Structure 1
Amino acid sequence: MDPEEAGAPPSFRYTAVPRLSRFSDVLDEARYVPVPDAWWIALCDVVMSTRAIEAGRYRSVNIAGAALIAAVRNALPEADTPFVFGGDGATLLVPPEHRHTVEAVLAMTVTWVREALDLELRAGLIPVAAVRANGHDLRIARYAVSPTVDYAMFSGGGLAYAEAAVKRGLHGVAAAPRGAKPDLTGLSCRFEAVPAREGLVLSLIALPEAGADRNAVLAVLGGLLAEIEASPSNGRPLPADGPAMRPPWRGLREDARGAGASTGAGLLRLAHLFLSRGGAFVLFRLGVPFGRFSPRRYRRRLAANADFRKYDDGLRLTVTCPVAMADRIEARLAAARSAGLVRYGLHRQEAAVVTCISPSVLRDDHVHFVDGADGGYARAAAMLKRQP
């Protein structure tokens, strides 16, 4: 820790931000509070993620995107670090006293993703003060998805500016030396894809057009939410009893490589993973409690804690809905774009996938990120970028 930062008193705590119990309240900008200038924005994204997804590597892309969140939470288990998962990347807010720790974790994550997943991760660390110095703001709200888990929501345009700055080569964080690996305890992707229950799974990004009337934009976004929340499942892509676990042999080699096994230890690592995953598979398939652990309770909490909708100056959703509803949503967005109010990208697919961070199966505060099974957010973002 930097000597100057060691004595820096905390001037802001994310856990003190009031919790919102209704997702529609994230559109009320009066509920957001400013993030102090002294805080930092840590972010990463998979370079050429769409190409990797087209090659069938969407699970690896999701794991790479979530790795930074897991690594920072493990490095700073008691710290106040709100985060958001973007499908092919992640963003965290970092208190000033933890800046150097997170920078080191970022560097290790870049190296691990390159060596274990054969993907390139772009990473950056930018002060909130720099965001405001360039004419943007950063405000935060806290949405309580369940009694034990909440997710950060953002407004002010600060995260979009930070992402663009890092893509321009500013505030970048270089990879750590070869062989470096952060602590990724609890990071997994061991559940089956969940087929759409109401027609299809829709991944959607809707952002305000530059200079658009803010109230008009919020009215459009509110209309989209009302449409989705009127559906029988409220758009939730996971069933109430959670997804089924994948058989232990599926994805085994990829998980072994992700664990950093060397070639010589590969067979032993595969055998160890197969046995541990096989035991978990039997427990989840039978639903029989083992000591203090209840597979059924875990799956129910997984569904309740799932992060399938978020707000960062615009909506980012992965929801299940009937085809007719998806058509209406797309028509609403096309009309709003013609009116100069929003830019959007969306992608339709047959199922959703979930990436999990669960350091302890005995606690109820595990977090789970939902994305579309055919590229979801990354494909929606690609469509967004193609719009003139």
Structure 2
Amino acid sequence: MLTRTPEEARFRYADLPVLARFDDVLDEARFRPVPSGWTIGLCDIVGSTRAIGAGRYRAVNYAAAAVIAAMRNALPDTEIPFVFGGDGASFLLAPGEERVAAPVLSACITFVRERLDLDLRAALIPVRTVREAGHDVRVARYAPSPDVAYAMIRGGGLAWAEAALKGGLNALPAAPPGTEPDLTGLSCRFEASRAQNGLILSLIVVPRAGGDAAALRRTLAAVIGLVQADPRLGRPLPEAGPDLGWRPGAVALRPARGGHLRDLLARGRRLAGALASFLAFRVRLSVPGFSAPTYLRELVANADYRKYDDGLRMTIDATPETARAIEARLAQAEADGLLHYGLVRQGSAVVTCFTPDRLGSGHVHFVDGGEGGYAGAAAQLKRKLGAGAA
């Protein structure tokens, strides 16, 4: 029988108060320490910058979102704190859940290698290990809509764990060939959404060690304020929702290992489902139990396009003037020793969707820039920090 400390018994992520205003993520007092008995699960794509340079940004996004979908499907009755990073993903696991997560992550490594021709690495790192290294893990819940909430994380522990992952700490092995995770509800059928105000801006801002915390908060508040000052700006998806393509998905999967007939049948089912969905969204179908217009409105409202995970991440629709103002503010703060940042301008945004319940409103949608996005911004950061390319 699993024994939990009083701290662990009292802590429930789903019970944390919800932040309704995004700028509340800058308030450290609103974050709660994650118990030391919990575990960080995390993964990233090796060589993501090269893959994106080769035009495979949708595949990179799909691989990262697949890990979140697989974990949600493996623990369907648990609200798992997770963060989508574009070319990777992180999540927090209560005691005992790491035993479920290990085989799921191993299956994802194999799936991504065999079906997407990408190299995924993954690890499980105890929060206790992070604290012993001198860092913390604190979490809050931000709700962009009444139907979903996303985890916001600070304390430096997640960033440390990501670096440890790349160093090989607690690396998980791949599952046997042919093993596949349960990715029910994961899709990538929506077309890229063109910028409505000039450009799509993807940025990552991380604090500089030893910087003035109050000055950093003022800078980040000013950046967020530049976007919030104009109601046209911010959300990178059109108000009516992105267009749905007729193809089964924007990501081409390799045939399943040793399952040619099974794969053909699955492709046939995906094609039939894609055509049915395309027609339903094209005519804005509304029937008992499902409404295409309602789903699209919820998609836009639920979209995960801004977050805080040991730094500010946003993929936003902006005017060129606003983008220049944001970059000028960040460049000055970087020169003042407060932060480091990476920033990518592009013409479109892409979305990867996870709909665990087709009749519910709690579907989640991961937004990234369509021409580099978070991975491109991260590559800029690494060059500044002298860590080399991804």
Q: TM-score range by the shorter chain?
A: over 0.9
Q: Structure 2: how far apart are the matches of 1:299 and 1:210? A: 41
**Judging changes above 3 Å, is the alpha-carbon distance between structure 1 residues 266 and 111 closer, same or farther for their aligned structure 2 residues?**
closer
Q: Is the 8 A contact 1:80 1:95 kept in 2?
A: no
Provide the C-alpha distance between the structure 1 equivalents of 2:22 and 2:158, rounded to a whole number of angstroms: 20
SS of the equivalent of 1:379 reads: helix
SS of residue matched to 1:287: coil
Q: Percent identity?
A: 53
Equivalent of 2:270 in 273, 293, 299: 273
Whether the 8 Å contact between 2:189 and 2:248 is mirrored in structure 1 is: no
Shift of 1:266: 4.8
* 1:327 is the counterpart of 2:324: yes
Cross-structure match for 1:185 = 184
Partner of 2:86: 87
Q: Is the CA contact (8 Å cut-off) linking 1:145 and 1:305 kept in structure 2? A: yes
Q: CA RMSD in A?
A: 1.8
The CA distance in 1 between the partners of 2:4 and 2:210, in whole Å, is 41
- Measured against aligned partners, the alpha-carbon deviations of 1:169-222 in whole angstroms (never above 9, x if no partner) come to 111111111111110001111101000000000000011111101111111111
Residue 145 of structure 1 corresponds to 144
Cα distance in 1 between the residues matched to 2:205 and 2:355: 30
Paired residue for 2:296? 299
- Tell me if the contact between 1:13 and 1:80 (Cα under 8 Å) persists in the aligned partners: no
SS of the residue 1:310 aligns to: strand
Specify the code of the residue in structure 2 equivalent to 1:125.
L
Q: How much does 1:259 deviate?
A: 7.0
Q: Contact conserved, 1:117 with 1:258, CA < 8 A, in 2?
A: no
1:344 pairs with one of 309, 324, 341:
341
Q: Distance in 1 between matches of 2:261 and 2:319?
A: 50
Equivalent residue pairs, number: 384
**Counterpart contact for 1:202–1:348, Cα < 8 Å:** yes
Shift of 1:137: 0.5
Deviation at 1:11, TM superposition (A): 3.5
Q: Does 2:368 align with 1:368?
A: no
Q: Secondary structure at the match of 1:387?
A: helix
The CA distance in 2 between the partners of 1:122 and 1:336, in whole Å, is: 33
Q: Secondary structure at the match of 1:169?
A: coil
| Equivalence for 2:61 | 62
Residue by residue over 1:323-362, the C-alpha shift from the partner in whole angstroms, topping out at 9 and shown as x without a partner, is: 1111111111111111111100010000000010102221
Q: Which amino acid aligns with 1:302?
A: L
Structure 1 residues 5 and 353: alpha-carbon distance in aligned structure 2, compared to 1, 3 A threshold: farther
Alignment-derived partner of residue 98 in structure 2:
99
For 1:285, the equivalent position in structure 2 comes to 282
Q: In 2, distance between residues paired with 1:191 and 1:84?
A: 21
Is 2:315 aligned against 1:318?
A: yes
Match of 1:229 in 2: 228
Q: How does 1:151-166 map to 2 (within 5 A)?
A: 151-166=150-165
Amino acid in the other structure paired with 1:222: A
Contact 1:202 1:318 in 2 (8 A): yes
What per-residue deviation string (whole Å, max 9, x for no partner) do you get for residues 298-337 of structure 1? 0100000000000022210000000111111111111111
Question: Normalised by the size of structure 1, how large is the TM-score?
Answer: 0.95
1:46 aligns with 2:34: no
Equivalent pair of 1:308/1:318 in contact (CA under 8 Å): yes
Q: Normalization by structure 2: what TM-score? A: 0.94
C-alpha separation in 2, matches of 1:266 and 1:40: 35
Q: 1:219 to 1:277 in 2, by over 3 A?
A: same
Q: What corresponds to 2:29 in structure 1?
A: 30
Distance 1:258 1:214, change over 3 A: farther
Q: In 1, are the aligned partners of 2:64 and 2:85 still within 8 Å (CA)?
A: yes
Q: Which residue of 2 aligns with 1:116?
A: 115
